[in-house]
Structure 1
């Protein structure tokens, strides 16, 4: 046996792996039980507080339709500050200006960010902390989809899909988690996965997208386990086919018909129908939810 091979084997068999540390869950930990509702609150006050969204949030893919709809919902539930990360925030300047007008007491900023650039992500997160004071919520909406037969998918397309959908989400989560850990403050991280992570789509072929979203589910579970001791909850939402511009046009008429016919509710989802689950997971209502995936698809996953 060559000396180099023997040395490599010795290193392999003598290595020590790091171990996770789980939270104790007691009152002094970052995962202790929440404080009881104040007794002086009315029924209406308790209902409002139950779904109150506190602190500041970063939303990636922030100029997209789903991101903006959910940004508005989080602001409606009390979000104090918002940073919209996007490759081209100006693409939705009118909608973002509407947020400024409708929520004058909230601080809303935009950052031009490429989520696959680790250094750029770290700089944008640092700038957001400086501007808003803290980061309490991260929602990762940035993503791409391509419909290409697997036999024809190029390595470039495959890597780009994973870079944006999976690696980009991880880089943002890691950068934000470091800020939360350093500040010793709890937080929540939400990845937008897809029913494509659970079932193969029909009729369109999109193996790269499906695999990248399935990877998000596994990553979510790993991060939830590792970061629970820091008070960081990590979850995913898996939307079904949503009726946005990305799924519109005459070229998709046949596919849209198929998607509806294969759905127990007989239709696609409306963007607003994601806001309830997003608010729940980002508010105190989700305080005991981590490592979970919430499917929002009208029952399409039944088949």
Structure 2
């Protein structure tokens, strides 16, 4: 049975869902230094995972939010959060870091590929260099990160789950948001995941995507200052009439990385407040 009812020492009974546990799992989170990636990492730690964060940013200092989460992992959760600085476009460095993690831990069991960039520029003004950078980080970087992790899984004959962070912008064009290269990159991530799922399924590797809607982050806070009309226009575009927060995607990540989604691959989990369902 998937549901386990355990007797506790005081006579109480607790119904658990053990298939959601990530205990004993080693999970890599790219883009994990801050923001949505770090929020996801903390959720994985709470579910029992050991987490390794990859990011291009300088190592976080002792006063950072990352340091807080790392300290909590050690003191409260009996786990660890480790930082590795790398550009996800650097294939050789990615393979070296991921291989080192796998060698030290005896394998890697999952990935959240959350590293990405955004640029709002009209299509007629986009430079080739900016387009190459956008696609390089958001598509090639995601591809190479997934490849590095899958290599270690296949090398050891270990199954696993890869979660690529897409966007509702990979499904629809955002009204009033001029970001053609970004939207194209997220559509590519959705198609990449389907193809990786088809190719690696025989190895027991599942590949799915999460497509968030508009999220309240430091970046969107800056956008609201520059474009105050978006603070009302964006919530009005979905069925719940509000924006989302990074914490609202933690459960989806745990679900996709755990045995709770063991028969799910090649799928997109869109969490957009109904934005795309009109």
What TM-score, normalized to structure 2?
0.91
Return the match for 1:117 from 66, 69, 90.
90
> Partners of 2:14 and 2:61 in 1: how far apart?
35
Contact 1:63 1:89 survives alignment (8 Å):
no
Contact 1:64 1:92 survives alignment (8 Å):
no
Contact 2:28 2:111 survives alignment (8 Å):
yes
Q: CA deviation at 1:77?
A: 0.9
In the other structure, the counterpart of 1:103 is 73
In the other structure, the counterpart of 1:152 is 125
> Partners of 2:4 and 2:211 in 1: how far apart?
36
Contact 1:57 1:83 survives alignment (8 Å):
yes
Deviates more, 1:182-191 or 1:87-96: 87-96
Q: CA deviation at 1:99?
A: 2.2
Q: 1:132 to 1:108 in 2, by over 3 A?
A: farther
Return the match for 1:254 from 229, 232, 249.
229
In the other structure, the counterpart of 2:38 is 68
Name stretches of at least 5 consecutive residues in structure 2 with no aligned partner: 8-12
> Partners of 1:240 and 1:38 in 2: how far apart?
32
Q: 1:278 to 1:38 in 2, by over 3 A?
A: closer
Q: CA deviation at 1:127?
A: 2.0
> Partners of 1:98 and 1:141 in 2: how far apart?
20
In the other structure, the counterpart of 2:56 is 87
Q: CA deviation at 1:126?
A: 1.5
What TM-score, normalized to structure 1?
0.84
> Partners of 1:60 and 1:188 in 2: how far apart?
14
Return the match for 2:253 from 263, 271, 278.
278
> Partners of 2:221 and 2:104 in 1: how far apart?
37
Q: 1:209 to 1:92 in 2, by over 3 A?
A: farther
**Paired residue secondary structure (1:258):** helix
In the other structure, the counterpart of 1:28 is none
Q: CA deviation at 1:40?
A: 6.8
Contact 1:107 1:132 survives alignment (8 Å):
no
**Paired residue secondary structure (2:81):** strand
In the other structure, the counterpart of 2:10 is none
Return the match for 1:221 from 191, 194, 215.
194
In the other structure, the counterpart of 1:5 is none
Q: 1:92 to 1:150 in 2, by over 3 A?
A: farther
Q: CA deviation at 1:37?
A: 4.1
**CA-atom RMSD in angstroms:** 1.7
Return the match for 1:51 from 1, 20, 32.
20
- Deviation string 1:64-113 (CA, Å, 9 cap, x unpaired) is 2101111111111111x211100115347522222232222213211101
**Paired residue secondary structure (2:111):** strand
- Deviation string 1:185-217 (CA, Å, 9 cap, x unpaired) is 110000000000000012121000000000111
Name stretches of at least 5 consecutive residues in structure 1 with no aligned partner: 1-35
- Which of the two has higher C-alpha Rg? 1
1:265 aligns with 2:223: no
In the other structure, the counterpart of 1:3 is none
- Deviation string 1:210-254 (CA, Å, 9 cap, x unpaired) is 000001111100111111111100000000000011111311322
Contact 1:89 1:111 survives alignment (8 Å):
no
